[in-house]
């Protein structure tokens, strides 16, 4: 391979040349050579800008001779096979005729053709194309040098942003905070403002949206089956999905308003897909090669950070939850309950507690076996989750005993909830429960230990009077 053979320059960033003054760098290099070789220092460049050629005039060039954006076919038609435009014909491109001939030279470097050099003369002239070759080659190299310099600056900036984003993303273990940092980094590095992070749920064979920006509010925390949507396709195939027009993709599930294109990147750890990064945009051709490269580079860091945070969350959950029922364990319940009671005292709110016990659980175990007993505990925990509020604190307190702390609930409300739970268990499960309820009294301070003791006494009273009962503690 020849040196530089892998170099394929792109389109000149025309606006940057205008903004940064690189045009004057070009003129300082070109003007003396143009004067010496071609006998004129009046010239302009027409550089590719999308579907048009945009003008870049030399210093002191008459403004009236500068055209607006030019179509290449119009320029070549006027120049003809000899590459010369007559002065009077120049008015077809600009607002004024040229004083003499305008000679057109095609700029070229290997397969790259960034535009044209136009040299203006005061009279009609004949040209020698061979004589201009060194100057044309020099200009082409200068333009390529400019392009490479901008590419180097861009890549340096991208690398700096990626390193910064990687440090930020990897600095946190809490899952929710990690997800927020990921979304912030996507915005700062790749200009992404509509994104969602989905985490695989093996039990449900689906993915749950754990964090999002720019999507409909109701999509938060919903489950999407693995075989549904563009995200599901990314998860099941393990391959990046880029859809330029979602209206033509039958798998598209509407998640954000006005979406035109979508990119779904599987997030992998230890060879498994642990989630999907989903990005949508209302901008056509948003996922160009440059932005895709940035997002994919960032996705590797996101996968690692997400994996570490998921492991941390699972480890933390194991430390604070009961392995069988998924409810809080006794130790964590006591920590949360103490904080809730202090908050209730500070603001003068009521707080109640229910102690729940399965009736005749030993006999149930002896008759049906310990596996059935474990299932009974799980089923009761599920019933409690279904019948309690999100603000209630549920825990397995030990053996077949469960507790429910009910913030901002007086004793009457707690008894109502307990009776509802008792009836649901009686109708839906092959056993019954006894519940004791205790609550704080206005103007009096209670510790969690006192509430537990009172609820426990009430619960044993419920068993003594026949079981399958709800009893509220009374001081008398």
How would you label 423-449 residue by residue, b for 16+ Cβ within 10 Å and e otherwise?
A: eebeeebebebbbbbbbbeeeeebebe
Question: 3-state secondary structure string, 158-210?
Answer: HHHHHHHHHHHHCCCCCHHHHHHHHHHHHHHHHCCCCEEEEEEECCCCEEEEE
For the chain, which ranges sit under pLDDT 70? Answer: 1-29, 125-129, 145, 147-173, 189, 442-443, 445, 476
Q: Cα-flanking dihedrals φ and ψ of residue 62, to 5°?
A: -60, 120
Q: Strand, coil or helix: what is 258?
A: coil
Q: Name all domains of the chain by residue range, CATH numbers in brackets.
A: 14-144 (3.30.450.40), 170-316 (3.30.450.40), 330-472 (3.30.70.270)
Check if the beta carbon of residue 424 is closer than 8 Å to that of residue 322. no
Separation CA 179–CA 210 (nearest Å): 8
pLDDT at site 4: 38
Strands ordered across the beta sheet of 261-269: 223-225, 206-213, 195-201, 272-281, 261-269, 241-243
How would you label 409-420 residue by residue, b for 16+ Cβ within 10 Å and e otherwise?
A: bbbeebbebbee
Separation CA 343–CA 137 (nearest Å): 78
pLDDT at site 265: 92
Q: Are strands 52-57 and 43-49 parallel, antiparallel or unpaired?
A: antiparallel
How would you label 84-111 residue by residue, b for 16+ Cβ within 10 Å and e otherwise?
A: bbebebbeebbeeebbbbbbbbebebee
Separation CA 235–CA 311 (nearest Å): 20
Name, in order, each residue with C-beta under 8 angstroms of 362's C-beta and a sequence gap of 6 or more: none
Altogether, the residues listed in the chain come to a count of 476
pLDDT at site 431: 95
Separation CA 84–CA 76 (nearest Å): 9
pTM (predicted TM-score): 0.50
How far does CA 231 lie from the centroid of its chain? 13
Task: Let me know if 334 is exposed, middle or buried by CB neighbors in 10 A (0-12, 13-18, 19+).
Answer: middle
Long-range residue pairs from 425-429, CB within 8 A, at least 24 positions apart, any chain = 425/380, 425/383, 426/468, 428/383, 429/376, 429/379, 429/380, 429/383
Task: Let me know if 356 is exposed, middle or buried by CB neighbors in 10 A (0-12, 13-18, 19+).
Answer: buried
pLDDT tens for residues 168-218? 555 555 777 778 877 887 777 677 889 888 988 877 888 888 888 888 887
Task: Let me know if 251 is exposed, middle or buried by CB neighbors in 10 A (0-12, 13-18, 19+).
Answer: middle
Separation CA 307–CA 290 (nearest Å): 26
Separation CA 469–CA 422 (nearest Å): 8
Check if the beta carbon of residue 337 is closer than 8 Å to that of residue 409. no
Instruction: Count Cβ atoms below 10 Å from residue 363 Cβ, excluding itself.
Output: 10
pLDDT at site 369: 93
Check if the beta carbon of residue 433 is closer than 8 Å to that of residue 427. no
Q: Cα-flanking dihedrals φ and ψ of residue 400, to 5°?
A: -100, 15
């Amino acid at each position: 391979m020849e040196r530089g053979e892998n170099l394929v320059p792109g389109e000149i960033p025309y606006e940057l040349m205008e903004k940064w003054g690189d045009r004057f760098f070009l003129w300082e290099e070109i003007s003396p050579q143009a004067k010496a070789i071609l006998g004129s220092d009046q010239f302009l460049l027409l550089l590719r800008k999308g579907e048009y050629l945009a003008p870049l005039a030399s210093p002191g060039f008459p403004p009236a001779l500068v055209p607006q954006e030019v179509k290449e076919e119009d320029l070549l038609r006027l120049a003809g096979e000899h590459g010369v435009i007559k002065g009077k014909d120049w008015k077809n491109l600009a607002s004024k005729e040229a004083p003499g001939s305008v000679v057109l030279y095609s700029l070229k470097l290997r397969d790259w053709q960034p535009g044209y050099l136009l040299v203006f003369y005061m009279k009609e002239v004949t040209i020698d194309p061979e004589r201009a070759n060194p100057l044309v080659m020099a200009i082409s190299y200068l333009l390529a040098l400019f392009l490479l310099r901008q590419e180097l600056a861009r890549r340096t900036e991208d690398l700096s942003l990626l390193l910064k984003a990687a440090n930020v993303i990897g600095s946190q273990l809490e899952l929710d905070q990690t997800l927020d940092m990921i979304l912030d980094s996507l915005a700062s590095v790749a200009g992404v403002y509509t994104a969602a992070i989905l985490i695989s749920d093996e039990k449900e064979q689906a993915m749950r949206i754990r964090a999002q920006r720019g999507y409909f509010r109701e999509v938060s925390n919903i489950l999407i089956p693995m075989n549904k949507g563009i995200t599901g396709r990314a998860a099941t195939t393990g391959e990046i999905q880029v859809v330029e027009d979602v209206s033509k993709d039958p798998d598209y599930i509407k998640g954000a308003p006005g979406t035109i294109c979508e990119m779904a990147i599987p997030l992998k750890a230890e060879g498994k897909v642990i989630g999907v990064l989903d990005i949508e945009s209302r901008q056509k051709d948003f996922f160009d090669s440059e932005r895709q490269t940035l997002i994919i580079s960032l996705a590797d860091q996101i996968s690692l950070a997400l994996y570490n945070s998921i492991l941390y969350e699972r480890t933390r959950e194991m430390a604070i939850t009961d392995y069988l029922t998924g409810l809080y364990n006794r130790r964590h319940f006591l920590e949360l309950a103490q904080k809730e009671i202090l908050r209730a005292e500070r603001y003068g709110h009521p707080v109640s507690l229910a102690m729940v016990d399965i009736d005749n659980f030993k006999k149930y175990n002896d008759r049906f076996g310990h596996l059935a007993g474990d299932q009974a505990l799980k089923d009761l925990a599920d019933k409690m989750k279904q019948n309690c509020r999100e603000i209630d604190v549920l825990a397995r307190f030990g053996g077949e005993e469960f507790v429910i702390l009910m913030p901002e609930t007086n004793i009457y409300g707690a008894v109502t909830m307990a009776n509802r739970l008792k009836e649901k268990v009686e109708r839906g499960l092959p056993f019954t429960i006894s519940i004791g309820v205790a609550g704080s009294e206005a103007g009096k301070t209670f510790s969690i230990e006192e509430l537990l003791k009172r609820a426990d006494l009430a619960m044993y009273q419920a068993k003594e009077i026949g079981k399958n009962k709800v009893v509220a503690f009374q001081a008398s």
